[in-house]
Structure 1
């Protein structure tokens, strides 16, 4: 096991000098402690016994740190102003005696990153991540077996970009000394090289494995933008991940929400007791509201109104608050379009129930003709983006264009699409959007919200109130004035939602949908191999929730199948389609294609166990 770590800390940090002043950037403070000290403590906790720091600029700061930690040995590169990081590493060749971890001094990372590299079976390993889009990235090109080919900050010089360099590497002592010898003999100006270039120079001769970890949280700090990202996003996320004291028994929820959550989201609910009227909690709600808005719209023109309740509460709030004397047209192509009709009916609203097939795209020509020929004046169209009963994805962009053409406002129930399928409310001409905390956001159930155009919400000020708890304008105005909900909010659920939002930002909506899509492809390939069919065809499918046609075997019973899976840690859901026997499988939440492979394997086992009916059962 590796017992030595090397930290490269000679750089001058000129791009962030306004913040660091006369200190090296490794001494920027997080929670009152320098970045490099956070790293040192994690290294020691991971079993590292010797830490060698290659110093240069303001070396005295590191030498003082070595007094505090006897495990540290500092080696000075007097030529730090004119040399690269490889030369600092080269200067350590006489003190490095064994395999070691190589790190940079300006890294912020979770401790799991060290565990992955230390325990890796390969002796030379580069830790890589998904693309952070943080600026100043080093991109990696690896071969099909994940061995290093090239690295560069310029994507154009790489044939294929596979991942991004984290800055934590494991090198065998023999590899390091071969590297030094190679550079001495073949590279005239190697003292100006960075260590990444040097590793590439020997990659053809010595195998260096690239270990890509998509969920590792980390960042480096080279400039002010990096620092702001670190303190506002990365470091809080790392703290949450590292505060998980015990793994929770994991269940694979393939129902369409609530979804499987991370342990960090679960543990985010464990907070000290707080009155929700305190300013500290108001700040939590403001963070949540602004972040939810930013996922789908700009903060200048749009706002988010939070409610306690399921997603239906947000839908009911919109319909009961927004529709006045004119008619609402509800596109009904599933159970949740039908639910909007029930809400409209309960409030006595004028509305049209535009019925569209549950497994087909909306006929926009027919819809437009209906609008043009309607006897009542229509002011709003309401539609479900991803119909949760089938997985049908309705074309809200085209509907937005149709609404613009006919001067209508578009209401979207985005419950099963929000935070997975990219949405731009302004570009899509959406006035009101409803969603909840417990589906693609991967939070806990209990918070619903409306993202709305500010001007349109303000226009509701003098509208007749049909209810109290769910009145959209009242909730909006109260939050705007006080940063509070009108009525008691679900405190712990909102803390969990804040954490879920941070994790969504880290993965990105595009990255999350890519992961979901991979799970969906695994599902479709699996059920097709087993001779089963799904209701909605590929071109109209959300790749979020799938309505699967039930087996025709006489011994089949959904509830027996449900129990079979439940006993094995997987939850599936009954169908919700009239005139068609189906069950539903969702591929949302903190699951992967590996989980879906497990589901397919168990489904095959269940189908194989269906026995032929007894003679008495035969007709």
Structure 2
């Protein structure tokens, strides 16, 4: 099956093979793998030795986003959340449910968040201490200029939390060049092309206070750090997804062998260009114009035809060996196709041919959006 999802993604056979080995999570050999992987992830993020640390956490991206909000924004503290898609809205909810005072900056989901709008919001409310922003908004496919937003936060004397969940390993961001960034958070199952189940924050050590501020033992990144200092860098506080960690170590090997983030980004961007152009040739309407289209997912607006049915479309694609999301994440209906994972342009062209066949089978005559 060809997975064209924004995560979990298509993986390489070597990565999948690592999942087939039983592992004792407290074994010395595995602890060495964990310790080495933490350092490799820190370096990949641009983290500086002695200034930054990689803090792994069991769970999905939402777990580590919430952990960062709880660990770096004090209870009742104000955080500005620019929202130009579904995952910005999810940060908004995570912050509120964690008892933080969320200030929402609503933006259209068809363009990046304007850094000047962030600057204006910070100037209007001196009590805001943090900006929490999504790098790659996989609700619509747009990419935010988080380096520019970080510079705005730094200039205003504020801090930043970066949701790089669907960007890390491909899109650039050097945390070492952004002292305003308390934490960059990501997961194993997106652009690193590992298996889902492990999240991580690369964080500034000097911004990690004493454990307890988070209000959650499981989601306390300061506690993750203090435990590692006491027990060793290869230890998790609680039972880790050991096979997922092992597979991620292999996936990082493959990431390095491919040529690193820049080469991976080029492959994904080419996938997205091919698919964006291809759906237009099929008569469909991409959600974003080409100049705003990011490399991670292409969102397509629902055809204006009574025969359109997303679940049937996804099911018929699956019979042809292609899996896409069977739900939409924008205010107007559509479908999303991931351009990341261990796939290249031939996979995108195969998917386009399969979609043409499915659209014909469904009898769709009006394929443009309303």
For Structure 1 versus Structure 2, the TM-score category normalised by the shorter chain is: over 0.9
Q: How many angstroms apart in 2 are the aligned matches of 1:451 and 1:279? A: 24
| Equivalences, count | 358
* TM, length-normalised to structure 2: 0.93
- Which residue of the other structure, out of 104, 112, 120, is the alignment partner of 1:361? 112
Per-residue deviation, residues 91-131 of structure 1 (Å, max 9, x unmatched): xxxxxxxxxxxxxxxxxxxxxxxxxxxxxxxxxxxxxxxxx
CA contact (8 A) 2:272 2:295 kept: yes
1:575 aligns with 2:328: yes
Shift of 1:586: 0.7
- Which residue of the other structure, out of 298, 318, 340, is the alignment partner of 2:91? 340
Q: How many angstroms apart in 2 are the aligned matches of 1:571 and 1:281? A: 33
Matches within 5 A, 1:214-233: none
Matches within 5 A, 1:271-310: 271-274=21-24, 276-300=25-49, 301-310=51-60
Matches within 5 A, 1:105-184: none
Q: How many angstroms apart in 2 are the aligned matches of 1:503 and 1:348? A: 40
* TM, length-normalised to structure 1: 0.56
User: Which residue of structure 1 lines up, in the alignment, with residue 356 of structure 2?
Assistant: 604
Q: How many angstroms apart in 2 are the aligned matches of 1:501 and 1:513? A: 15
1:476 aligns with 2:228: no
Shift of 1:310: 0.7
1:431 aligns with 2:207: no
Per-residue deviation, residues 56-84 of structure 1 (Å, max 9, x unmatched): xxxxxxxxxxxxxxxxxxxxxxxxxxxxx
3-state DSSP class of the match of 1:270? coil
CA contact (8 A) 1:438 1:444 kept: yes
Shift of 1:530: 1.4
Matches within 5 A, 1:205-220: none
CA contact (8 A) 2:9 2:190 kept: yes
CA contact (8 A) 2:79 2:101 kept: yes
CA contact (8 A) 2:170 2:261 kept: yes
User: Which residue of structure 1 lines up, in the alignment, with residue 77 of structure 2?
Assistant: 326
User: Which residue of structure 2 lines up, in the alignment, with residue 412 of structure 1?
Assistant: 162
CA contact (8 A) 2:47 2:202 kept: no
Shift of 1:272: 4.5
Q: How many angstroms apart in 1 are the aligned matches of 2:364 and 2:159? A: 56
1:270 aligns with 2:20: yes
Per-residue deviation, residues 117-146 of structure 1 (Å, max 9, x unmatched): xxxxxxxxxxxxxxxxxxxxxxxxxxxxxx
Q: How many angstroms apart in 2 are the aligned matches of 1:519 and 1:326? A: 41
User: Which residue of structure 2 lines up, in the alignment, with residue 233 of structure 1?
Assistant: none
Shift of 1:532: 1.6
1:388 aligns with 2:141: no
- Which residue of the other structure, out of 44, 50, 63, is the alignment partner of 1:313? 63
> Following TM superposition, where does structure 1 have runs of at least 4 consecutive aligned residues deviating by more than 4 angstroms?
none
CA gap of 1:525–1:539, structure 2 versus 1, over 3 A, is closer
User: Which residue of structure 2 lines up, in the alignment, with residue 399 of structure 1?
Assistant: 149
User: Which residue of structure 1 lines up, in the alignment, with residue 302 of structure 2?
Assistant: 550
User: Which residue of structure 2 lines up, in the alignment, with residue 525 of structure 1?
Assistant: 277
Q: How many angstroms apart in 1 are the aligned matches of 2:95 and 2:214? A: 15
Q: How many angstroms apart in 1 are the aligned matches of 2:211 and 2:194? A: 35
CA contact (8 A) 2:79 2:102 kept: yes
Shift of 1:543: 1.4
Shift of 1:262: 0.8
CA contact (8 A) 1:290 1:299 kept: no
Per-residue deviation, residues 456-484 of structure 1 (Å, max 9, x unmatched): 12xx1166340111101001111233221
CA contact (8 A) 1:379 1:409 kept: yes
1:593 aligns with 2:345: yes
User: Which residue of structure 2 lines up, in the alignment, with residue 49 of structure 1?
Assistant: none
Per-residue deviation, residues 464-523 of structure 1 (Å, max 9, x unmatched): 340111101001111233221111111111111110111011112111111111211110
CA contact (8 A) 1:329 1:380 kept: yes
Shift of 1:540: 2.8
Of structures 1 and 2, the one with the larger relative CO (CA 8 A, separation 6+) is 2
Per-residue deviation, residues 515-547 of structure 1 (Å, max 9, x unmatched): 111211110121111122212233333211111
Per-residue deviation, residues 315-344 of structure 1 (Å, max 9, x unmatched): 010011111153111111111111111111
- Which residue of the other structure, out of 464, 477, 488, is the alignment partner of 2:213? 464
Matches within 5 A, 1:366-377: 366-374=117-125, 377=127
Please report the RMSD computed on the Cα atoms of aligned residues, expressed in angstroms.
Answer: 1.6
Bigger Rg over Cα: 1
Q: How many angstroms apart in 2 are the aligned matches of 1:399 and 1:612? A: 42
